[in-house]
Chains A and B, each alone.
Chain A
């Protein structure tokens, strides 16, 4: 069977702006109000979100900037130029491992949550397989298509979140917000770290910027997209705290899901908001998973240019499936998630610093050939 080819595989900077929040907003958002309120007092977690958000925005900008300095060059090409070919190969492999583990984690997490709230009887293996197959389907197609999918999904996700927040207003209580700014410095630090972990996946920008035809504005757009994600995190966190209070948020496993379950549209007209909410939220997690997987394929393709994309997809899928099924219980899943986050941040930051240093050392002169 033949696959449909789009006219070109290029995207606009606007697509990058939308891709960043689509990538960053994932399963983490369901649990992060809990993790944050464990370490901060009352409603003070917003400070941590703001701080980590600031770091993430700067980070996003820096990643997009270094990639945009080499327009239309793949990560492998410009990394080879900056840090020599063997190291570039290692970096690409490390990024691929991140992509694979992140994909597997997202698949696992969505399985856990759907198993907990939607399908108690359906075996986990089946749920994850189904989800993974849909992801594979999306990845097999055109890369630009994924970005168009983001453009389609992101507004829906954003609007649904805002609607949920609006309907929660009736359940908010001032006593849950007050007092403000009573957390100690240590709490803010931990909270900042904790919420920074939710912003994983920015590493894909190293690869995707090369798809942008004219990436001059890409860094600004990427940073702007990241700020959007920070705003959504902030909104969700504050709503959870205002509705449940810090002490209850701390003990609810997925506060954001619980929020959707608590809120009822007034008048008894529509009580089960979570049914719609789940559909939308699975979309958000889907875009993250697809991009994580696709970036991996993209990265591997740059070192194995002769291998067909579809072959890579079919080779990796069984591994992802196995890794996703590896954790035995929710604690192991959490550990797995922490590993993926730390690994992602560690790798991205190291690579970013490394590339910038090398760029300053030798790139500034030679890259004039762009």
Chain B
């Protein structure tokens, strides 16, 4: 009995060694985390489309810790060309000394050339949606030129270019941006044949990336069909009622005036039910603060305030109408997603038009959209002028 007990205990102790064994065990030190991926069309094309994939791996020693600055570069870029993205990934792992881990991909950049090709964009997205380790929260951006160049810029605030760019897409100081676009959102839009926008980035200088505007994708063909830059992108956001932040510069009685938008909303109304000529009305509300004014008018008089208000309203209205014109008449793509409004509030009508909304018969481009703006100037700023009016003592 006593001997048996000793034997049993011995077995238990030995079993403990088995507990630590694990097939999937990869030490943290042996992993290389990908933080960003860029996908381009390769320069030399084979029979099938050849991609050039670049993975940005984090080099932890370059990152340093909170108390100690890291030395050297914090990232390493590896790239390969091939026909299947997953195969390229395997090819890249042959170059890496560590186990490449895709769980932490933060950002995917796709070049404009690739996005404009027929049927390639959804193939690329498919990989990121299907892979179990990938997350639906991966951010997506379109590069105006080569996507891989964006991952090679010399960053300063952030140690890793991919991190810098993903933070950039989340920075909302400028009104030409859209909220960060996640891969999951793209899948939802594409499943519904809904058109959508993706941030469009370009290289500004060696050390900075410029948030240039928005890339427009048509849902049906899921390829990029155009861009909205500068004012058009602002107008786009006015219509959406989202991201209404940033500045608007206009002229009041010939003097340059800049407003800062403090937010706002928009509301879509459908005025008739004739599907061949739908009439929408978009009511835009914006709140603004005056931030820069070169003229000499007195804000505390009601008439003057009214004047500023109408000027701002006209300006916002013009931008919104320009964006509508470009998307509706020129590109004929409903990136505003008016169809969501129809689906949610006019379901029966939506069922009739959904198969030919912004493609085929294109009811969207046949529709008529009017814009009404209501601006509210919240405050005139801390001090009214820096110089006295002429003639005043």
* A262 CB within 8 Å of chain B: yes
Contact in complex: B188, A245 (CB < 8 Å) = yes
Q: Across the two chains, which residue of chain A brings its CB closest to B337?
A: A175
Question: Which residues of chain B are within 8 angstroms of A117 by Cβ–Cβ distance?
Answer: 132
Contact in complex: A122, B23 (CB < 8 Å) = yes
* A261 CB within 8 Å of chain B: yes
Q: Across the two chains, which residue of chain B brings its CB closest to A274?
A: B135
Give chain A nearest CB distance to B138 CB in angstroms: 11
Given A179-B344, A245-B188, A248-B191, A262 contacting B135 (CB threshold 8 A): yes
Expressed in whole angstroms, the Cα–Cα distance for A118 and B26 within the complex equals 12
Type the 1/0 row for A265-281, where 1 means its CB is closer than 8 Å to any CB of B: 00000000000000000
* A123 CB within 8 Å of chain B: yes
Given A262-B135, A262-B136, A262-B137, A251 contacting B191 (CB threshold 8 A): yes
Q: Across the two chains, which residue of chain A brings its CB closest to B346?
A: A179
Q: Across the two chains, which residue of chain B brings its CB closest to A257?
A: B132
Contact in complex: B188, A118 (CB < 8 Å) = no
Which residues of A, 93-133, contact B by the 8 Å Cβ criterion?
Answer: 116-123, 126
Q: How many residues does chain B have at the interface if contact means C-beta atoms less than 8 Å apart?
A: 18
Q: Across the two chains, which residue of chain A brings its CB closest to B187?
A: A248
Expressed in whole angstroms, the Cα–Cα distance for A133 and B343 within the complex equals 51
Given A247-B191, A251-B191, A262-B136, A119 contacting B343 (CB threshold 8 A): no
Contact in complex: A247, B188 (CB < 8 Å) = yes
Contact of B132 among A116, A121, A174, A251 (CB under 8 A): A116
Question: Which residues of chain B are within 8 angstroms of A122 by Cβ–Cβ distance?
Answer: 22-24
* B192 CB within 8 Å of chain A: yes
Contact in complex: A261, B136 (CB < 8 Å) = yes
Question: Which residues of chain A are within 8 angstroms of B340 by Cβ–Cβ distance?
Answer: 175
Give chain B nearest CB distance to A107 CB in angstroms: 19
Contact of B184 among A118, A119, A121, A262 (CB under 8 A): A262
Expressed in whole angstroms, the Cα–Cα distance for A245 and B188 within the complex equals 7
Question: Which residues of chain A are within 8 angstroms of B137 by Cβ–Cβ distance?
Answer: 262, 264
* B345 CB within 8 Å of chain A: yes
Contact in complex: B344, A175 (CB < 8 Å) = yes
* A338 CB within 8 Å of chain B: no
Expressed in whole angstroms, the Cα–Cα distance for A175 and B240 within the complex equals 13
Expressed in whole angstroms, the Cα–Cα distance for A178 and B187 within the complex equals 19
Expressed in whole angstroms, the Cα–Cα distance for A123 and B23 within the complex equals 8
Contact of A121 among B24, B136, B345 (CB under 8 A): B24
* A244 CB within 8 Å of chain B: yes
Give chain A nearest CB distance to B3 CB in angstroms: 15
Give chain B nearest CB distance to A291 CB in angstroms: 27
Give chain B nearest CB distance to A125 CB in angstroms: 11
Q: A178-B344, A251-B187 are in contact. List 11 more A-B contacts (CB 8 A).
A: A119-B22, A119-B23, A121-B24, A123-B23, A175-B337, A179-B347, A244-B184, A247-B191, A248-B187, A261-B135, A262-B135
Of the A-B pairs whose beta carbons lie under 8 Å apart in the complex, a sample of 27, sorted by A's number, is A116-B132, A118-B24, A119-B22, A121-B23, A122-B22, A122-B23, A122-B24, A123-B23, A175-B340, A175-B343, A175-B344, A178-B343, A178-B345, A179-B344, A179-B345, A179-B347, A182-B347, A244-B188, A245-B188, A245-B192, A247-B188, A248-B184, A248-B191, A250-B191, A261-B136, A262-B137, A262-B184
B residues apposed to A, CB below 8 Å: 22-24, 132, 135-137, 184, 187-188, 191-192, 337, 340, 343-345, 347
A residues apposed to B, CB below 8 Å: 116-123, 126, 174-175, 178-179, 182, 244-245, 247-248, 250-251, 258, 261-262, 264
